Amino acid sequence: MPIDLDALRRHAVSRTLFAPTGLSNAIERLGFVQADPIRAPARAQDLTLRHRVRDYRAGDLERRYPRLQIEEDFFINYGFLPRATQALMHPRTPAGAWPRARRAQAEAVLDFVRERGVVHPREVDAHFQHGRARNWFGGSSRASTQLLDAMHYRGQLRVARRDGGTRCYAARDSHAAAENPEHALDTLVDVLVAKYAPLPSASLNYLTRLLAGAAPQWAGLRRAAQLRARARLAHATVDGIDWYWPAGEKPASWRQAPDDAVRLLAPFDPLVWDRHRFELLWGWAYRFEAYTPAPKRIRGYYALPLLWRDQVIGWGNLVQRDGQLNAELGYVAGKAPRDAAFRRGLDEELGRIEWFLQPR
């Protein structure tokens, strides 16, 4: 059967909204879960996992993290991923080498962490009194926190657990460099394709470029990896655009009617993260506006895309006050569908969110 945009859309929905499973299995299947500290009404990682993990509640990932075979690290952005995937990116060799004084400072902190086992940033700050320093967005933060972040990125430290949302660090075992960098890079590309497929050509190129942050030591190999990906992935041209997905998957087979479920998705959910793909599949522009000045926001501070069946038909801003969930919804068509199945599905989704927000 020929592949059209409807088939691609249904394929995108069905392959990422798989039947809920265990937490470890869900993270393995997703390949990577992007993290974000904003709670509106919960963190992005929790909002993403609640659709894919049985009986999931906000905070379960943080609570169970020390017992899971996963790591916090930077991939194409910051989040959680299986240890086997994280190991492929290390040892990282960032382009800018540290000055001697900074290197000595990091070595002293590393010795301190090894002695203590696991440390909270305030322990490092109290011991070394590094003071404050300008951060990347122009403000100021504790220099110790910035140093710990940099050491984490370089692979000297790992996140052992979180204490009230704050990362607590332990020394990280060193890893040997990949024997075959091309194979390692291909594997990282495949993780991204498996997460975000089907992908238009421009998005495949963009994701490959983003691996510069994951593995800066292989910056010169990314273009060749992109070409190899195009050669091994399944693909089709739809409306003049080349689309790619893992070999063996068959988007044309996803023509069955979608269920009546209504879902409010995280702004970084794999279904909506790629804004270019989002516009191609659903015909309107979704933007994350938490960092947009309030007068310029169109859809709200933390608008969650609203999926019904295989269409993203609007968005919702959710606020929990005094145990009550308040939902302010907007629709691309200007009003809600009059279908009784939609109203029933929306009530069920809001009920699921209220349960998900209840503390363990």
Tell me the pLDDT of the chain (360 aa) as tens digits.
689 999 999 999 999 999 999 999 999 999 999 999 999 999 999 999 999 999 999 999 999 999 999 999 999 999 999 999 999 999 998 878 899 999 999 999 999 999 999 999 999 999 987 766 665 555 656 788 899 999 999 999 999 999 989 999 999 988 888 899 999 999 999 999 999 999 999 999 999 999 999 999 999 999 999 999 999 999 999 999 999 999 999 887 765 667 889 999 999 999 999 999 999 999 999 999 999 999 999 999 999 999 999 999 999 999 998 888 999 999 999 999 999 999 999 999 999 999 999 988
Residue for token pair 């590393």:
110
Is 38 domain-assigned?
A: no
Q: Is 141 inside a domain boundary?
A: yes
The answer as to whether 151 is a domain residue is: yes
What is the layout of strands, in order, in the sheet containing 234-238?
A: 199-200, 241-245, 234-238
- CA-CA-CA-CA dihedral for 179, 181, 182, 185, to nearest 10: 130
**Residue that is last in its domain, among 144, 171, 198:** 171
Burial class (CB in 10 A: 0-12, 13-18, 19+), 242: middle
Please report the pLDDT score of residue 7 as a whole number.
92
Of the residues 171, 189, 217, which one is the last residue of a structural domain?
A: 171
pLDDT of residue 69: 97
**What's 175's DSSP letter?**
-
Q: In the beta sheet, which residues pair with residue 319?
A: 326
The answer to the question of residue 108 being in a domain is: yes
pLDDT at res. 254: 62
Tell me, what CATH number does 130's domain have? Answer: 1.10.10
Put residue 11 in one of left, alpha, beta given phi > 0 → left and psi -120 to 50 → alpha: alpha
Domain boundary residue among 171, 198, 218?
Answer: 171
- How many whole angstroms separate alpha carbon 212 and alpha carbon 221? 10
Q: In total, how many domains does the chain have?
A: 2
What Rg do the C-alpha atoms of the chain give, in angstroms?
A: 22
* DSSP state letter for 53: B
Residue 221: inside a domain, yes or no? no
- Bridge partners for 168 per DSSP: 161
- Is residue 190 within 8 Å of 168, Cβ to Cβ? no
Task: Confirm whether 58 is domain-assigned.
Answer: no
Distance CA 327, CA 303 (A): 10
What is the per-residue pLDDT for 138? Answer: 53
How many other CB atoms are found less than 10 A from the CB of residue 94?
12
Nearest to 302 by CA among 44, 8, 7: 44
What 3-state class would DSSP assign to 255? coil
The reply to whether 352 falls in a domain is: yes
> Is residue 339 assigned to a domain?
yes
Burial (Cβ within 10 Å: 0-12, 13-18, ≥19) of residue 296:
exposed
Structure tokens at 186: 């291909």
Cβ atoms of residues 248 and 234 within 8 Å = yes
Per-residue pLDDT, 136: 56
What are the tokens at 280? 């191609």
Span between the terminal Cα atoms of the chain, in Å: 48
Residue 134: predicted pLDDT: 62
pLDDT score recorded for residue 24: 97
Give me the domain span that covers residue 152.
Answer: 100-171
